[in-house]
């Protein structure tokens, strides 16, 4: 009798142990959230939380598989190389450049007072190179289709008037420009500075800069000229003043691609101090 009772108890315990156990809802939710994860840390978190969990064997198997995957190296970030200007163009007779000269309206201009200015129409400047000899460049300028006026440019950095008051247009063609530094001995050949005003100027190379003009986009060397003049005073006008002339040289076309001149102080000037001269097109051989 006792033996039959013990046997019944044993069979009951065996059946209970063989019966499927209801899972912990929290564990099942956790497992469902990480079962397809490719992050080893998430699978390890499940194992740590449920070391005897229903899915721990599967979790360990997937974790082992992930640890055996080859590590793909992160591509190295390419090091940006400094922009280098294009190869310089060797000037030749027949090269030509077409510019647009415009007079931007600045704050306080176009007034009706004594020194008020009236709007001025833009002009087209066509420069054609005629010869190169002994460090000098000869060209001719035609404004709006008029008869070309010849001019010769020396290698010395110079401020002069050729349709507008500009700085040596072939400056970059007389030698390789540095990326920075002073420009020494800037000569001044502007008529107003020779006759009426006392002028002086200093220049510096401000580095390389990409500039957009109607003729295209160029990596240019930027040059800044600061010019000052003195002339006393007349009828309350300040004859002492100054301007900043910024020039962009593109080696591949052999000439400046843009000039931008702005008065900085004063009322009367020995030249047109506010203008933009931008390259519209060019033909070089």
Question: To the nearest whole percent, how much of the chain has pLDDT over 90?
Answer: 49
The pLDDT assigned to 74 comes to: 57
pLDDT of 7 > 60? The answer is no
- What's the rounded Cα separation, in Å, for the pair 257 and 260? 10
Mean pLDDT across the stretch 210-237? 87
Give the mean model confidence (pLDDT) for residues 10-27. 53
Residue 17 falls inside a structural domain: no
2 in any annotated domain: no
Cβ atoms 159, 243 nearer than 8 A: no
Tell the residue number behind the tokens 């510096």, with chain if given.
204
Burial class, 197, CB count within 10 angstroms (exposed 0-12 / middle 13-18 / buried 19+):
buried
Q: Are residues 188 and 60 in the same domain?
A: no
Mean pLDDT of 230-252: 82
What's the domain count of the chain? Answer: 2
**What average pLDDT score do residues 173-185 get?**
83
- Which two three-digit tokens encode residue 51? 């070391």
Whether 40 and 176 map to the same domain: the answer is no
Query: How many Å apart are CA 260 and CA 133, to the nearest integer?
Result: 29
Residue 172 lies in a domain: yes
- Any domain includes 16: no
Pair (116, 257) in one structural domain: yes
Q: Which residue has the higher pLDDT, 220 or 177?
A: 220
Q: Mean pLDDT, to the nearest integer, of 222-243? A: 82
Q: How confident is the model at residue 69 (pLDDT cuts 50, 70, 90)?
A: low
Position 90 in a domain: no
Answer yes or no: do 112 and 221 share one domain: yes
Token readout for 193 is 């500075």
Q: Which long-range contacts (CB under 8 A, 24 or more apart) does 114-121 make?
A: 114/235, 114/237, 115/237, 115/267, 115/268
Tens of pLDDT, residue by residue over 241-251, are 999 999 999 99
Lowest-pLDDT choice from 9-18, 111-120, 173-182: 9-18
Are 175 and 272 contained in the same domain?
Answer: yes
**Whole domain around residue 37: which residue ranges?**
24-71
pLDDT of residue 13: 42
Do 151 and 253 reside in the same domain of the chain?
yes
Q: Residue 227: inside a domain, yes or no?
A: yes
pLDDT tens across 132-147, in order?
988 899 999 999 999 9
Same-domain check for residues 144 and 28: no
- The pLDDT mean for the chain works out to 82
Same domain as 234, residue 190: yes
Which residue did the predictor score with more confidence, 280 or 11? 280
What is the structure's pLDDT at 142? 96
- Statement: residue 5 has pLDDT above 50: no
233 versus 262: the higher-pLDDT residue is: 262
Q: Per-residue pLDDT for 21 more than 60?
A: no
Neighbours of 258 (CB within 10 A): 22
Q: Based on the fold, state whether residues 195 and 258 are members of the same structural domain.
A: yes
Do 46 and 174 belong together in one domain?
no
Percent of the chain with pLDDT over 70: 79
143 and 42: one domain? Answer: no
Average pLDDT over residues 53-57: 84
pLDDT tens by residue, 123-176: 999 999 999 988 899 999 999 999 999 999 998 999 999 999 999 999 988 877
Residue 131 belongs to some domain of the structure: yes
Asked if residue 248 and residue 210 are part of one domain, the reply reads: yes
Residue 35 domain-assigned?
yes
């Amino acid at each position: 009798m006792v033996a039959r009772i013990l046997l019944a108890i044993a069979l009951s315990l065996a059946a209970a142990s063989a019966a499927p156990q209801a899972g912990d809802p929290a564990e099942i939710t956790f497992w469902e959230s990480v079962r397809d994860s490719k992050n080893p840390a998430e699978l390890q978190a499940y194992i740590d939380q449920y070391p005897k969990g229903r899915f721990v064997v599967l979790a360990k198997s997937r974790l082992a598989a992930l640890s055996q995957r080859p590590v793909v190296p992160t591509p190295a970030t390419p090091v940006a190389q400094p922009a280098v200007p294009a190869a310089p163009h060797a000037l030749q007779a027949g090269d030509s450049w077409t510019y647009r000269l415009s007079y931007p309206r600045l704050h306080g201009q176009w007034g009706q007072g004594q020194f008020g200015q009236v709007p001025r129409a833009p002009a087209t400047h066509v420069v054609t190179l005629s010869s190169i000899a002994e460090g000098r460049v000869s060209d001719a300028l035609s404004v709006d289709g008029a008869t070309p006026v010849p001019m010769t440019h020396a290698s010395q950095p110079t401020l002069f008037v050729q349709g507008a008051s500009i700085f040596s247009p072939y400056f970059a063609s007389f030698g390789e420009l540095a990326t920075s530094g002073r420009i020494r001995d800037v000569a001044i050949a502007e008529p107003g500075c020779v006759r009426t005003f006392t002028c002086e100027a200093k220049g510096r190379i401000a580095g390389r800069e990409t500039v957009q003009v109607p003729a295209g986009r160029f990596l240019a060397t930027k040059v800044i000229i600061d010019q000052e003049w003195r002339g006393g005073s007349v009828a309350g006008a300040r004859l002492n003043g100054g301007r900043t002339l910024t020039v962009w040289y593109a080696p591949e076309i052999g000439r400046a691609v843009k000039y931008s001149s702005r008065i900085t102080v004063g009322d009367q000037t020995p030249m047109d101090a506010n203008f933009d001269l931008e390259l519209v097109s060019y033909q070089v051989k």
